Chains A and B, each alone.
Chain A
């Protein structure tokens, strides 16, 4: 949707942008498929990424539902589905869009915001341009200011999240916010959210969550049944898939992983260090870090970022079947287990990470910090201290959306993997 007429030089810039952006995405998609051990049933997810990022097509499905762009996992998908909309997650990892956005926001803003602003102003991606509304949770400073900037370009809704998640007051706040979102959604979709439509969408998302839990169980297997980078591709693709379609494809993938488990087909060797990624989100095509981990002989077995399983892991538990009961269940599900560092007190993230280390038998943690992502950087020290007590090594890896630092990242990741291997030898 381009409102103004482009000058010839702007038009040429736009063409170059499209070509570059699609080439970079194609390259990372190739590295993703070249990484050994991809299950056959991964293909539909790869196709989604290819369609969106390489072919620059609209969402990979026929829908007459209005698209609602969301900018964080704290936006309840259930409400959007119940209003007859199709949610789509727009947080971006594009190197090309990042370089455009670099001129639009302050230097110290995070690359995610830069990439989003790049896409929004270039008007080349149908997933951005076809959205009827954007919902931006007001969480970190960058998201907050982004919401302000987006307002001038598109229909943007600021979704206010309380900064704490400890007592009934803040739960009431988020319940109110959810109620306020309802008319905004209804005015865009032209449908009302009813008891029936909401309980249906809760069921649909619930099924996806159930499949996600199964998928996560398979990720605990030692040796690994699926490469962590491939698992990340699944989660990235989920951003652009209707929930039922996603559940169906994930069900098939789970079936294949179950078969692998039964016939002992593994994608990692026994001695490969099992690593976990946490910190700032890793979004396609910015998958250099997971790729480096697995290319350098590590096995990525757990992903605690908000683009990982976290987005669909915890189910909404409806105790009270009334409409209000469902709304409260949603408020609960989208804030209480959320480990976003924008909450004032986020001790719970440490517990979650420790639990994941135990469940997934993690031997080392890679802490990803996107340059400018202060809130995640803040929590590094506390985690380092806590993991030190457990004797689990952790390394902070800072990066942004460019490919120039790949060699620097490689040496850090390689040395970290060696460190774990040698630690293992000493134990024996």
Chain B
């Protein structure tokens, strides 16, 4: 019998689960949040157990985080996503990363977390009233351009001359993209423009005073290589991407769970 710890991250769009054993990520799974997030969470935990041949009783503690953290009945406790992400990067950050800033791009919000050298949260800023600069924005644009979210990044890298997208609101940006399509712009250039405008918007949230350390991207948005490159281009410095970026919150929650026993 081994000791495992689970983290559940109930996001606005996807629910993520991660399983940890001694600071090692054993498994991670994602599902659509849907309308019954509690059942999806239970199923995720059970599926992971099955896949890894683990008894349910070997999971010693489940920590919930994210938008719907308060409703997961399987969870033993919950923690805010800020703390969860700050913890997660202890496991998911690449070796050379010096803790400084985390840029998390989620489905419906994006946040910037400032860390001290011991990975403790110093401060944070959030954008949660506006969908511009979030994963939802990417999904909407991908749909208009008849592609899928996983193709958006690679396609944009082929762009030679990115379009300008200036609207700061997702609804206006959407109509701007539609008019670019009508004017027969290459969709690769539109996508590249979209990534740059997203990066610009999020960079505006960053505090100029917090310059120390490196920048690490987490959240589903970091899976998009186009966004990653756009950040590097806009900030003119290295930007790291966490391992399993989409699961960073769940991994962080599981890591906190392991400290609870």
Within 8 A of B (CB), among A280-319: none
Q: How far is the CA of A412 from the CA of B127 in the complex (A)?
A: 11
In the assembled complex, B38 has its CB within 8 A of some CB on chain A: no
A95: min CB distance to chain B, Å? 18
Q: Which residues of B contact A394 (CB under 8 A)?
A: 123
Q: Would A426 and B118 be within 8 Å (CB), given that A395-B123, A415-B124 are in contact?
A: yes
Within 8 A of B (CB), among A307-333: none
In the assembled complex, A170 has its CB within 8 A of some CB on chain B: no
A426 touching B79 by the CB < 8 A rule?
Answer: no
Q: Would A418 and B80 be within 8 Å (CB), given that A393-B123, A426-B120 are in contact?
A: yes
In the assembled complex, A184 has its CB within 8 A of some CB on chain B: no
Q: Would A414 and B80 be within 8 Å (CB), given that A408-B126, A408-B128, A408-B129 are in contact?
A: yes
Q: How far is the CA of A411 from the CA of B123 in the complex (A)?
A: 13
Interface residues of A, dominant DSSP: helix
In the assembled complex, B104 has its CB within 8 A of some CB on chain A: no
In the assembled complex, B13 has its CB within 8 A of some CB on chain A: no
- Residue of B80, B120, B122, B209 near A411 (CB, 8 A) is B80
Within 8 A of A (CB), among B114-148: 118, 120-124, 126, 128-129
In the assembled complex, B82 has its CB within 8 A of some CB on chain A: yes
Q: Which residues of A contact B81 (CB under 8 A)?
A: 411, 415
Q: Which of A393, A405, A422 has the most CB of B within 10 A?
A: A422
- Residue of B82, B123, B126, B209 near A418 (CB, 8 A) is B82
Q: Would A418 and B83 be within 8 Å (CB), given that A408-B126, A408-B129 are in contact?
A: yes
Q: Which residues of B contact A408 (CB under 8 A)?
A: 126, 128-129
In the assembled complex, A259 has its CB within 8 A of some CB on chain B: no
Q: Which residues of A contact B122 (CB under 8 A)?
A: 393, 419
What interface size band does chain A fall in? Answer: 10 to 19
In the assembled complex, A423 has its CB within 8 A of some CB on chain B: yes
- Residue of B79, B120, B126 near A423 (CB, 8 A) is B120
Q: Which residues of A contact B209 (CB under 8 A)?
A: 384-385
Q: Which of B80, B118, B123 has the most CB of A within 10 A?
A: B80
- Residue of B82, B118, B120, B129 near A415 (CB, 8 A) is B82
B123 touching A415 by the CB < 8 A rule?
Answer: no
B131: min CB distance to chain A, Å? 14
A422 touching B120 by the CB < 8 A rule?
Answer: yes
Q: How far is the CA of A405 from the CA of B121 in the complex (A)?
A: 23
Name the residue on A nearest B124 (C-beta): A415
B118 touching A411 by the CB < 8 A rule?
Answer: no
Q: List 20 A-B contacts (CB under 8 A).
A: A385-B209, A393-B122, A395-B123, A395-B124, A408-B126, A408-B128, A411-B128, A412-B124, A414-B80, A415-B80, A415-B81, A415-B82, A415-B121, A415-B124, A419-B120, A419-B121, A422-B121, A423-B120, A426-B118, A426-B120
Q: State the 3 A-B residue pairs at the shortest beta-carbon distance, nearest first.
A: A415-B82, A415-B80, A418-B83
